Amino acid sequence: MVSPFVLSLSKDGPRSCSDKFSTKGDRETTVFEEPYSFSPSVVQFLSITIKRVGFGLVLLLAVLVLNFCLMHLAPGDIADTIAIDAGGADEEIMAAIRKDYGLDLPVWQQLLKYLSKVATLDLGYSFYYNISVTDLILERLPATLLLVLSAQVLAITVGIVLGVIAARKPHGLTSHFVTVLALVGYSAPVFWTGIMLIILFSSTFPIFPIAGLMDVSVEREGFAHVLDVLHHLVLPSITLASIFLALYSRLARASMLDVLGSDYVRTAQAKGLSEFLVVYKHALRNALLPVVTMAGLVFSGVISGAVLVETVFSWPGLGMLAVQSIVARDTPTILGILFFSSLVVVIANLLTDLVYRIIDPRIKTSSA
């Protein structure tokens, strides 16, 4: 029934929001004569999606080229690694190994070979774990996804709730709490927060397990197993969420304050709608937009945080694998992890974009 007559359009689509993080007044306000005369057509929706997917693929290709460059720029190659493992080799054998791995070919041919191998999901072989890198990564990926997604969901939900409560009473206790929380959450090193939680929960309140994905001493199946994993997930997830909770709550507060001051909210209030309806039905949807954008933008940051959190809590995911393979100088594995985590970020960004366009029907065209 009530359609927002005053639409605030951002100039160049959802991605521009990062530039204007929590600032008021730089959104352009345009008054439309006819509200909601357009609805995004399916064709347009699809074409934008295809464009985005295409750009995501280009980004991944760039990651692969970067990987390849890193492999070549780094001192030493695979022949050296094998020779060191074997306890030394003469020039002839070294040349044979190089020929075997195609290292004698021109660089561009090696690059093409590398790319065509990756296209078939062949990321090389880990000499340290004696297993193909793709298998190794796929084995560890679920644990990381579980940690990253649960932390994101936790941080976003609690962040929005805190932010909305704070925005409704800008000078109240919750508002100050959000400000302090944002500062503390941002300033504490995430691995330190994790270790402090471990110290707290290892001796003082031993209610949560402090390491690992599950209890290996007891074999569990089905629901009991799920519960066990969730029990182990509590502390790592809270730790990882602590950095981003602050970000989301602060952003939700700022954007909610912004929306609550806009004309269409005043209209809704003037019509005599209940405060609950105004805040949670009319205002919240618009206030969520910057939070969604931020969720996509910080995703690579969440993965970085996960590397540290996994190390602290011995969570057997990609991050811990990355640290172990760096110690073991297992280059194919570490580069494979770099590629796979970029893939996760690209997919997360595509999904964020989709969610954004579902929440905000006004975004019908945007190039990028």
Interaction site with another protein (CB under 8 A): 16, 18-20, 23-25, 59, 62-63, 66, 70, 73-75, 183-184, 186-192, 195-196, 198-199, 202, 254, 257, 297, 300-301, 303-305, 307-308, 311, 322-323, 326-327, 329, 331, 334-335, 337-338, 341-342, 345-346, 349, 368
Beta bridge mates, 126:
131
CA atoms in the 13 A half-sphere facing the CB of 283: 31
Taking the complex as a whole, the smallest distance from the CB of residue 186 to another protein amounts, in Å, to 6
Residue type, position 145, single letter: L
Only one residue has tokens 């959000």, namely 178
- Closest distance to another protein from the beta carbon of 194 (Å): 10
Least separation in angstroms between CB 142 and another protein? 17
Give residues with Cβ within 8 angstroms of 1, minimum separation 6: none
CB-CB neighbours of 159 under 10 Å: 28
3-state secondary structure of 28: strand
SS3 labels along 100-155? HCCCCCCHHHHHHHHHHHHHCCCCCEECCCCEEHHHHHHHHHHHHHHHHHHHHHHH
Q: How many Å apart are CA 326 and CA 29, to the nearest integer?
A: 51
Nearer to another protein, 200 or 277 (CB): 200
- Which residues are CB-neighbours of 186 under 8 A, at least 6 positions away? 243, 246, 247
CB of 192 to another protein, least distance (A): 3
**Residue number, 150 or 341, with CB nearest to another protein:** 341
Give the separation between CA 205 and CA 192, rounded to whole angstroms: 18
Place of tokens 């007044």: 25
Q: How far is the CB of 15 from another protein (least distance, A)?
A: 8
Q: For another protein, which is the closer residue by CB, 264 or 340?
A: 340
Query: Using alpha carbons only, what angle is made at residue 320 by residues 326 and 339, rounded to the nearest 5 degrees?
Result: 70
Residue closer to another protein, measured from CB, 33 or 171 = 171
Give the β-pairing of 125-126 and 6-9.
unpaired
Least distance CB 273 / another protein (angstroms):
26
The residue assigned the tokens 């590629």 is: 339
Minimum separation from the CB atom of position 226 to another protein (A): 28
